[in-house]
Amino acid sequence: MPTPIKIASRLDPIKPSITLAVTAKAAKLKADGIDIISFGAGEPDFDTPDHIKDAARAALDKGVGKYTDTAGILPLRKAIAAELSAVHKVSIEPDQVLVSTGAKHSLYNLFMALLDPGDEVLIPAPYWVSYPDMVMLAGGRPIILETKAENDFAVTAQQVAAACSGRTRAIVLNNPSNPTGAVYTRAQIEALAKVVVEKDLLVISDDIYRQLVYGDAEYVSIAAVNPEVGKRTVLVDGVSKTYAMTGWRIGYTAGPLNLIKAMNKIQGQSTSNPTHISQIAALAALTGPQDCIATMRKAFDERRIEMVKLLRAIPNVTCREPKGAFYAFPDLSAYIGKKSAEGSILDDDVQLCDWLVEVGKVAVVPGSGFGAPGFVRLSYACSMKNIQEGVGRLSRALQTLR
């Protein structure tokens, strides 16, 4: 065998996930004994609630741990169908639900099942890092729709209409948004719903943060606007963020039966069922007491307010108020192109973030990974102490740049 091995050309345009890279770099520095504060990871710092862990333990003792139906165990699919039908005002049967190994896997199956070579998917930017790469892996073309901070990063119906071509299949709507924390208003959702029907688009509604909205913001489901939109919406959701269950790896999709069946075919020839024990835990999460969500949401909200206040106090930094998810997305472009005390010019946000972690001992994710160069993403799903110390480090480091 020649070395290095020739890698399939379909991977040529694919970038590694920048959020995972930043998190790994911070973890490595920490393991080397360096005191780093990391705002990189997109996961709650809370432990999975006890009643969920107890249900998993009890199931293990009863011998859970076998292959299940590829689509997931029926009680879980029933619970998901009931919850999503209620939230999105659509009628979803358990057959229209596919449980996968995290919502990331759900999205991957979805793009693989949906796209022919050259099919286009509209993706508003800033976007979650994986959408464009997944679309490309599936042979599709991501069409990026730029939004503006001053419009709270909302894509407009006019932009969507103007971007549609004969090849457009779908639009990804991530509400609340990772990385910006923006939450669409009812009026914005209604305008988008109209254009989606006019242009015959499928809506890929990534609602993984829908239960994490703050202040007077409300989550408005596009599927619920009217039955025409409901029919053309694929719901992507999961337990990772809502129930502090990122490592259990359970996400799910609900939508048109033939699409779910096609995704099931892919899952059946790749991973088979998601982990049995995690499915039991997800069932306990969805059907058990829900007060854990309010407790975590309250803590996130307090941290959000503190983080935004501290970020806004840094000279020449602006930060929109994030209204959902657990990220702040400040604009650091005033510090790009400046020179560090060590003598390097920080030409872009990637270099700035590398320098921040190495010299400032604080890890944040460069906005260019989300299609928003000049911005950075900070997760506030960490302790108040880390927020105060970490944003303090960020502020002090930035102010040494000339």
Ligand X SMILES: Cc1ncc(COP(=O)(O)O)c(C=O)c1O
Q: Of 48, 147, 175, 178, which lies in the binding site for ligand X, with binding defined by CB under 6 A?
A: 178
Give the distance between the most distant pair of CA atoms in the chain. 63
Residue 253 binding ligand X, by CB under 6 A: no
Shortest Å distance, C-beta 181 to ligand X: 11
Site for ligand X in 94-113 (CB under 6 A): 102-104
Return the number of other C-beta atoms located less than 10 Å from residue 14's C-beta.
12
CA distance linking residue 292 with residue 195, whole number of Å: 37
Shortest Å distance, C-beta 236 to ligand X: 7
Residues 6+ apart with CB under 8 A from 401: 335, 338, 339, 340, 346
Q: Of 49, 251, 366, 374, which lies in the binding site for ligand X, with binding defined by CB under 6 A?
A: 251
Q: What SS3 state is found at 197?
A: helix
Residue 240 vs 273, nearer CB to ligand X = 240
Residue 207 binding ligand X, by CB under 6 A: no
Site for ligand X in 327-366 (CB under 6 A): none
Residue 206 binding ligand X, by CB under 6 A: yes
- As to burial, measured by CB atoms within 10 angstroms (0-12 exposed, 13-18 middle, 19+ buried), residue 200 is exposed
Of the candidates 260, 287, 298, the one whose C-alpha atom is nearest the C-alpha of residue 99 is 260
Residue 238 binding ligand X, by CB under 6 A: yes
For ligand X (CB under 6 A), the number of binding residues is 13
Residue 100 vs 188, nearer CB to ligand X = 100
Residues in the chain, overall count: 402
Residue 246 binding ligand X, by CB under 6 A: yes
Q: How far is C-alpha 170 from the geometric centre of its chain's CA atoms?
A: 18
Residue 320 binding ligand X, by CB under 6 A: no
Site for ligand X in 20-59 (CB under 6 A): 42
Q: What SS3 state is found at 324?
A: strand
Binding residues for ligand X, rule: CB under 6 A, are 42, 102-104, 128, 174, 178, 206, 208, 238, 240, 246, 251
